[in-house]
């Protein structure tokens, strides 16, 4: 990235012959101020040329790492200090003209952005010309964010095509020399009628499917979440847009969020034309319905921990109130996955236990490490299945579109660990596609405490962490490895089955639909009721 621009400084009076020495000295000072703080002076700024015209000093400046707004302000402040003390000349005004930002690579930016005048896009380089900026503009956070956006775009353009970070951290031993089953549990659950497709990526879970999902989830909560001291809360599942602005979701994942709109009015009479139309035609055309709705002011639960940061946002936290350890399992999350929707494994509406915590960095790290070790016990001893853990691009970077380099695995640093379980029906263990990500475990550093302004009363740093347990995915992966026959289940799951009788499956004249489906259901009934 390179910046160029013309800084026009208005002085308190015209310069004359007597000022020339002081002026030359002042320009030298400006040059020094432009490289201040840069180890390599090349990274700072330079004065390419300068001239004085009556009361104006006009300097052509370029820079690399030093943002052009900062460079302009450094020019101003330096001149004010040196000319002020040597010649009692003040600075009246400053303008940055013809400023441009040159970026390596081809990037796309809207000319609707504030301060952008025009854009020249080449193959290897993009040049963004800025409008003339006054002193007030130069100090605005909008400009800072614009320039930050451009540098992120440049970084991303340089990384294009590189895969996301994935580093194996740990894996279980091989438990099944020959798999117990090679069947796809998604198929069985659907064919035997335990679940029925409601709409794309959405299912109805009959009582028996719900029972199975709850079994794995309840045991997880009982074995991992409660013993570690987390308590249950209920979070909203529809978020005002402002929340997504703070978490970054509206920038990073807007393409996969589901939005919600309120009606324009509560007065049912104002809907009459539409309701009459639907009555007579028995149709509900979305574009007509849309006319009666407000713009989407909400999006549906995406990461599930957002309300936690909102709750503590703006509050002052003391040592007695931390660590805070909560979990929420109260409702679904929504992700519009345009491609690749499959079975219960990749859906638009899913259920998750979201575990959240807040505290000082050392507390947050310790809680993460305790959770990690309990997760491992849960996978190894309770479900007794094959698993692995990977250090991945943190979800809070991925979902906020932030560009950050992922550092190598370090247990004491912010980052995300993914849990993956083997799906024998998809292929051998060596095949990356045969592993399903069922959950993750992260600490975020100050990624959320900063934008939400969660503060400690004595100014200590506060961090947060979260972990998501995808209920559908844990169940399907368990069934993919251990099958539907409880003889092949580990003791804690068999025990659950014995203590909690499962509900009857749905069997009507026409349901399940197919003969194989009916046979699958019969088999299942034999397995579960003995």
Strand positions, DSSP E, 79-146: 91-104, 116-121, 125-130, 133-134
Residue 65 · residue 38 · CB < 8 Å: yes
**CA–CA separation, 232 vs 301, rounded Å?**
17
Which residue, 8 or 352, is less far from ligand SER as judged by CB? Answer: 352
418 catalytically annotated = yes
Summarize as ranges the residues that interact with ligand SER (CB under 6 A): 303-305, 352, 354, 395, 440, 466, 468
Residue 394 binding: pick among Zn ion, ligand SER, none (C-beta 5-8 Å cut-off by kind): none
440 catalytically annotated = yes
**CA–CA separation, 303 vs 298, rounded Å?**
14
Out of 301, 473, 482, 520, the active site residue is 473
**What is the distance of C-alpha 246 from the center of its chain?**
11
Residue 75 · residue 9 · CB < 8 Å: yes
- Residue partners of 163: CB distance under 8 A and separation at least 6: none
Which residue, 440 or 449, is less far from ligand SER as judged by CB? Answer: 440
CA nearest neighbour of 467 among 363, 334, 344, 329? 329
335 catalytically annotated = yes
Out of 62, 95, 184, 440, the active site residue is 440
346 catalytically annotated = yes
354 catalytically annotated = yes
**CA–CA separation, 179 vs 455, rounded Å?**
51
**CA–CA separation, 352 vs 304, rounded Å?**
8
437 catalytically annotated = yes
Min separation Cβ 292 and ligand SER, Å: 33
Burial of 22 from C-beta contacts in 10 A (0-12 / 13-18 / 19+)? middle
Residue 328 is encoded by which pair of tokens? 């929420």
466 catalytically annotated = yes
Min separation Cβ 334 and ligand SER, Å: 12
Residue 440 binding: pick among ligand SER, Zn ion, none (C-beta 5-8 Å cut-off by kind): ligand SER
Residue 421 binding: pick among ligand SER, Zn ion, none (C-beta 5-8 Å cut-off by kind): none
Min separation Cβ 241 and ligand SER, Å: 18
305 catalytically annotated = yes
291 to 310, contacts with Zn ion by CB under 5 A? 303, 305
Min separation Cβ 482 and ligand SER, Å: 24
Residue 438 binding: pick among ligand SER, Zn ion, none (C-beta 5-8 Å cut-off by kind): none
Out of 337, 370, 374, 398, the active site residue is 337
Min separation Cβ 389 and ligand SER, Å: 15
**CA–CA separation, 159 vs 145, rounded Å?**
21
**CA–CA separation, 357 vs 339, rounded Å?**
33
Residue 45 binding: pick among ligand SER, Zn ion, none (C-beta 5-8 Å cut-off by kind): none
Which residue, 399 or 476, is less far from Zn ion as judged by CB? Answer: 399
Out of 335, 352, 368, 482, the active site residue is 335
Burial of 258 from C-beta contacts in 10 A (0-12 / 13-18 / 19+)? middle
Min separation Cβ 295 and ligand SER, Å: 25
Which residue, 181 or 467, is less far from ligand SER as judged by CB? Answer: 467
**CA–CA separation, 65 vs 2, rounded Å?**
8
- Taking CA 305 as the corner, what is the angle to CA 341 and CA 258, rounded to the nearest 5 degrees? 40
**CA–CA separation, 383 vs 374, rounded Å?**
12
Burial of 260 from C-beta contacts in 10 A (0-12 / 13-18 / 19+)? middle
Out of 346, 360, 388, 426, the active site residue is 346
Residue 181 binding: pick among Zn ion, ligand SER, none (C-beta 5-8 Å cut-off by kind): none
Residue 35 binding: pick among ligand SER, Zn ion, none (C-beta 5-8 Å cut-off by kind): none
Residue 259 to residues 105, 333, 378: CA-CA distances in angstroms? 34, 12, 35
Min separation Cβ 356 and ligand SER, Å: 8
- Residue partners of 459: CB distance under 8 A and separation at least 6: none
Which residue bears the tokens 């029972």?
A: 211
**What is the distance of C-alpha 425 from the center of its chain?**
31
Q: Does 367 bind Zn ion (CB under 5 A)?
A: no
Which residue, 57 or 257, is less far from ligand SER as judged by CB? Answer: 257
Out of 354, 386, 389, 520, the active site residue is 354
Q: Does 466 bind Zn ion (CB under 5 A)?
A: yes
Out of 19, 305, 389, 482, the active site residue is 305
Min separation Cβ 465 and Zn ion, Å: 9
Which residue, 9 or 257, is less far from Zn ion as judged by CB? Answer: 257
The residues that touch Zn ion, with contacts defined as CB under 5 A, are 303, 305, 466
Active site residues: 305, 335, 337, 346, 354, 418, 437, 440, 466, 473
């Amino acid at each position: 990235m390179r910046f160029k621009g013309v800084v026009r400084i208005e002085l308190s009076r015209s310069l004359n012959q007597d000022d020339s020495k002081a002026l030359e000295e002042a320009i030298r000072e400006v040059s020094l101020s432009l490289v201040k703080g840069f180890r390599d002076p090349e990274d700072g700024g330079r004065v390419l040329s300068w001239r004085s015209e009556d009361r104006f000093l006009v300097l052509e400046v370029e820079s690399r790492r030093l943002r052009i707004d900062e460079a302009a302000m450094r020019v101003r402040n330096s001149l004010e200090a040196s000319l002020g003390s040597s010649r009692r000349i003040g600075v009246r005004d400053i303008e940055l003209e013809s400023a441009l930002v040159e970026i390596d690579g081809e990037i796309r930016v809207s000319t609707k952005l504030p301060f952008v005048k025009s854009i020249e896009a080449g193959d290897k380089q993009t040049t963004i010309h800025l409008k003339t900026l006054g002193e007030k503009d130069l100090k605005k956070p909008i400009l800072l964010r614009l320039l930050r956006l451009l540098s992120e775009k440049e970084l991303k353009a340089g990384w294009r095509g590189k895969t996301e970070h994935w580093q194996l951290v740990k894996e279980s031993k091989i438990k099944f020399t020959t798999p117990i089953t090679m069947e796809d549990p998604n198929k069985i659950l659907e064919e035997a009628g335990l679940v029925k497709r409601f709409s794309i990526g959405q299912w109805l879970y009959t009582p028996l499917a719900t029972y199975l999902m709850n079994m794995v989830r309840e045991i997880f909560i009982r074995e991992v979440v409660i013993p570690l001291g987390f308590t249950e809360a209920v979070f909203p599942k529809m978020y005002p847009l402002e929340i997504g602005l703070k978490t970054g979701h509206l920038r990073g994942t807007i393409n996969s969020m589901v939005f919600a709109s309120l009606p324009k009015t509560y007065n049912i009479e104002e809907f009459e034309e539409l309701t009459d139309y639907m009555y007579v035609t028995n149709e509900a055309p979305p574009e007509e319905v849309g006319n009666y709705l407000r713009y989407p002011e909400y999006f549906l639960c995406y990461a599930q921990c957002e309300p936690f940061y909102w709750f503590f946002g703006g509050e002052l936290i003391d040592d007695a109130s931390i660590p805070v350890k909560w979990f929420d399992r109260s409702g679904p999350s929504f992700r519009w996955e345009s491609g690749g929707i499959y079975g219960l494994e990749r859906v638009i509406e899913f259920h998750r236990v979201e575990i959240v915590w807040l505290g000082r960095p050392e507390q947050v790290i310790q809680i993460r490490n305790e959770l990690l070790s309990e997760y491992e016990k849960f996978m190894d001893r309770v479900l007794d299945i094959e698993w692995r853990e990977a250090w991945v691009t943190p979800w809070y970077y991925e979902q906020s579109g932030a560009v950050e380099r992922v550092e190598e695995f370090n247990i004491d640093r912010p980052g995300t660990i993914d849990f993956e379980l083997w799906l024998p029906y998809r292929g051998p263990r060596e095949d990356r596609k045969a592993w399903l990500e069922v959950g993750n475990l992260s600490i975020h550093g100050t990624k959320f405490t900063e934008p939400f302004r969660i503060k400690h009363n004595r100014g200590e740093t506060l961090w947060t962490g979260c972990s998501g347990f995808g209920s559908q995915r844990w169940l399907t992966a368990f069934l993919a490895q251990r099958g539907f026959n409880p003889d092949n289940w580990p003791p804690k799951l068999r025990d659950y089955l014995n203590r909690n009788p499962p509900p009857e499956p749905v069997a009507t004249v026409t349901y399940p639909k197919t003969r194989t489906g009916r046979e699958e259901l019969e088999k299942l009934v034999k397995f579960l009721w003995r």
